[in-house]
């Protein structure tokens, strides 16, 4: 069987190439999986992306083989011991089951694409994706029928769907419509959890009790109000916990809902045949490992293979898998957490031009600096004054005050590094090594010393200028 599988992979190498395709996305259930994999394989072959994915695939295969070897070495006594461990953990986890709360997960339907269609009705009914030839952010349901989806390079999407229309991203627009939906959510749960611009979790237990209505009725009403306020449709899932509510919201997409009763038997029946990939937290890699090592493809099989899970995985991972098999998920209202870091990123075309890369780094640094300033200006609550700029900061937020201090440090170091000159040269010079500044002729006239290597040592950013007072 092993040789037969290898021969098949050699004849059809795309069958083992799983970098982009997944039918876990709503609207892709009837897609020709082999055709999509073949196109992705042929369009990617030979690229750096392909080479990187091959390295990752090789690592996963190695990990699977290693875990298979470990599983094969488990004796009957070992398995008996780990079965007792699994049974004990299942009982402990079962004792935490909470069926008194009602959670609603709302997910906007192809959000970015829907917003663009709302702005340009001529796109309605046509296969369309938001993004560029480099990468897609999302695709509408018409495009998904061809296997086109988010996180897919645009040139591959065009090969799958020649009539695909590309629309550039407009996050200002998406943020605006996201804000409208959140105003609706607040009417049902003021402390709702926003998972992203287009999805959120709401604890509707209180509103259901106060109004004497069911979770399904609240979901229907909320979806109707979202459509009235935005012109957009959304799908919803109602269940006893957040993990199940998210799964439920995907069942009747688009513009539908699914209600899972707060009943243990209903939950266990629902979870039994559910594919593991439908669970948030189980991605491509984990799915391949569970299938490749233990033959697990449904949530019910998590419990059946509990002894192996406890033997081969860490305590936390095994607990998560067993919880999935029991249909358990979060039911508490998470404690608000303050932001500990700020970052900025952009996706751009591959390039080996070092000067271009350093300029891109400068641009991203500028965006990060702007975001940091906005965060300081939008602070609220009890205040303390910054002695350097006069900004007021929350007195109890130690980390936020440290971020503010770090901002001033970065600002000072930027000025020290850049010196005087235009804003463009300032952005460029503070991140570019010396050999990339100046004319080509000047670079040809001298040979860089070891101290003038391609990378600046980190401590050079903190070295004081000669003659500068402390």
Checking if the pLDDT of 100 tops 90, the result is: yes
46: β partners = none
Each residue's pLDDT tens digit, 213-233:
999 999 999 999 999 999 999
Q: What secondary structure does DSSP assign to 73-102, as a single string?
A: T--HHHHHHHHHHHHHHHHHHHTT---S--
Give residue limits of the domains in the chain. 74-98+263-334, 103-126+163-262, 354-461
Whether 411 is a known active-site residue: answer: no
Each residue's pLDDT tens digit, 397-410:
455 555 556 555 55
Least confident range of 33-37, 96-100, 161-165 = 33-37
Least confident range of 35-49, 105-119, 261-275, 395-409 = 395-409
**pLDDT value for 415:** 56
Comparison of pLDDT for 364 and 4, the residue scoring more: 364
**pLDDT value for 335:** 61
Q: Are 80 and 308 in contact (CB under 8 A)?
A: no
Q: Which helix (H) or strand (E) holds 136?
A: strand 136-139
Residue tagged active-site, from 53, 116, 199, 287 = 199
Each residue's pLDDT tens digit, 65-76:
999 999 999 999
* Residue bearing tokens 């296969």: 127
Checking if the pLDDT of 368 tops 80, the result is: yes
Comparison of pLDDT for 350 and 306, the residue scoring more: 306
Each residue's pLDDT tens digit, 187-198:
999 999 999 999
d(CA 166, CA 144): 14
Predicted confidence band of residue 418 (pLDDT cuts 50, 70, 90) = low
Checking if the pLDDT of 429 tops 50, the result is: no
User: What is the fold of 74-98+263-334?
Assistant: DNA polymerase; domain 1 (1.10.150)
Residue 452: name the closest of 467, 432, 466 by CA.
432
What's the rounded mean pLDDT across residues 138-166? 92
d(CA 68, CA 288): 13
Predicted confidence band of residue 385 (pLDDT cuts 50, 70, 90) = low
Comparison of pLDDT for 383 and 273, the residue scoring more: 273
What's the rounded mean pLDDT across residues 295-323? 97
**pLDDT value for 80:** 97
Comparison of pLDDT for 85 and 14, the residue scoring more: 85
d(CA 412, CA 415): 5
**pLDDT value for 31:** 79
Predicted confidence band of residue 52 (pLDDT cuts 50, 70, 90) = confident
**CB-neighbour burial class of residue 93 (10 A; exposed 0-12, middle 13-18, buried 19+):** middle
Note the CATH architecture for domain 103-126+163-262. Answer: 2-Layer Sandwich (3.30)
**pLDDT value for 425:** 41
d(CA 291, CA 300): 13
**pLDDT value for 461:** 39
Predicted confidence band of residue 108 (pLDDT cuts 50, 70, 90) = very high
Q: Are 130 and 136 in contact (CB under 8 A)?
A: yes
**pLDDT value for 51:** 83
291 three-class SS: helix
Predicted confidence band of residue 388 (pLDDT cuts 50, 70, 90) = low
Comparison of pLDDT for 77 and 46, the residue scoring more: 77
106: β partners = 200, 236
Predicted confidence band of residue 378 (pLDDT cuts 50, 70, 90) = low
Percent of all residues in the chain with a pLDDT value above 90, rounded to a whole number: 54
∠ CA(439), CA(442), CA(446), 5° rounding?
Answer: 150
d(CA 346, CA 357): 12
Predicted confidence band of residue 274 (pLDDT cuts 50, 70, 90) = very high
Q: Which long-range CB contacts under 8 A does 260-263 form with residues at least 24 apart?
A: 262/99, 262/100, 262/102, 263/99
Checking if the pLDDT of 242 tops 50, the result is: yes
Checking if the pLDDT of 444 tops 80, the result is: no
Checking if the pLDDT of 448 tops 70, the result is: no
CA distances 424 to 365, 380, 430, 466, Å, are 13, 33, 10, 25
Predicted confidence band of residue 346 (pLDDT cuts 50, 70, 90) = confident
**pLDDT value for 83:** 97
Q: Does 103-126+163-262 match 74-98+263-334 at the fold level? A: no
Comparison of pLDDT for 351 and 312, the residue scoring more: 312
**pLDDT value for 342:** 79
Average pLDDT, the chain: 81
**pLDDT value for 252:** 95
Residue 201, phi then psi, degrees to nearest 5: -110, 135
Predicted confidence band of residue 456 (pLDDT cuts 50, 70, 90) = very low
Q: Is the dihedral of CA 174, 180, 186, 189 positive or negative?
A: negative
216 three-class SS: helix
């Amino acid at each position: 069987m092993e040789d037969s599988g290898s021969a098949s992979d050699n004849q059809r190498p795309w069958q083992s190439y799983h970098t982009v395709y997944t039918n876990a996305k709503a609207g892709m259930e009837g897609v020709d999986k082999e055709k999509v994999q073949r196109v992705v394989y042929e369009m990617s072959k030979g690229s750096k992306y392909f080479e990187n994915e091959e390295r990752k695939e090789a690592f996963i295969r190695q990990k699977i083989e290693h875990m298979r070897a470990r599983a094969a070495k488990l004796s009957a006594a070992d398995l008996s011991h780990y079965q007792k461990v699994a049974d004990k953990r299942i009982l402990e986890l079962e004792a935490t089951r909470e069926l008194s709360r009602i959670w609603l997960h709302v997910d906007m339907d192809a959000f970015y694409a829907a917003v663009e269609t709302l702005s340009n009705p001529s796109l309605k009914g046509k296969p369309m994706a938001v993004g560029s030839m480099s990468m897609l952010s999302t695709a509408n349901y018409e495009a998904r029928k061809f296997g086109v989806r988010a996180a897919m390079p645009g040139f591959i999407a065009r090969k799958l769907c020649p009539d695909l229309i590309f629309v550039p991203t407009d996050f200002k627009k998406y943020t605006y419509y996201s804000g409208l939906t959140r105003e609706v959510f607040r009417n049902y749960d003021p402390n709702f959890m926003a998972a992203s611009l287009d999805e959120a979790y709401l604890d509707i237990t209180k509103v259901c009790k106060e109004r004497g209505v069911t979770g399904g009725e609240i979901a229907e009403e909320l979806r109707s109000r979202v459509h009235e306020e935005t012109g957009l449709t959304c799908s919803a899932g109602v269940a006893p916990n957040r993990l199940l509510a998210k799964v439920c919201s995907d069942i009747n997409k688009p513009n539908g809902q699914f209600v899972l009763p707060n009943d243990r038997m209903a939950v266990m029946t629902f979870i039994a045949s559910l594919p593991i990939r439908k669970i948030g937290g189980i991605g491509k890699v984990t799915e391949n490992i569970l299938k490749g090592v233990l033959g697990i493809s449904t949530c019910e099989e998590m419990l059946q293979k509990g002894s192996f899970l406890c033997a081969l995985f860490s305590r936390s991972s095994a607990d998560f898998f067993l919880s999935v098999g029991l249909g358990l998920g979060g039911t508490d209202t998470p404690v608000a957490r303050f932001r500990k870091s700020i970052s900025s990123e952009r996706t751009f075309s591959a390039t080996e031009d070092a000067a271009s890369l350093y300029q891109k780094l400068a641009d991203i640094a500028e965006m990060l600096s702007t975001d940091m300033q906005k965060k300081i200006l939008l602070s609220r609550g009890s205040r303390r004054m910054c002695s350097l700029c006069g900004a007021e900061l929350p007195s109890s937020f130690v980390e936020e005050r440290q971020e503010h201090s770090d901002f001033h440090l970065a600002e000072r170091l930027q000025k020290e590094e850049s010196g005087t000159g235009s804003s463009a040269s300032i952005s460029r010079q503070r991140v570019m090594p010396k050999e990339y500044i100046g004319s080509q002729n000047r670079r040809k006239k001298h040979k860089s010393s070891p101290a003038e290597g391609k990378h600046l040592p980190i401590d050079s950013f903190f070295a004081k200028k000669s003659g500068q007072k402390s």
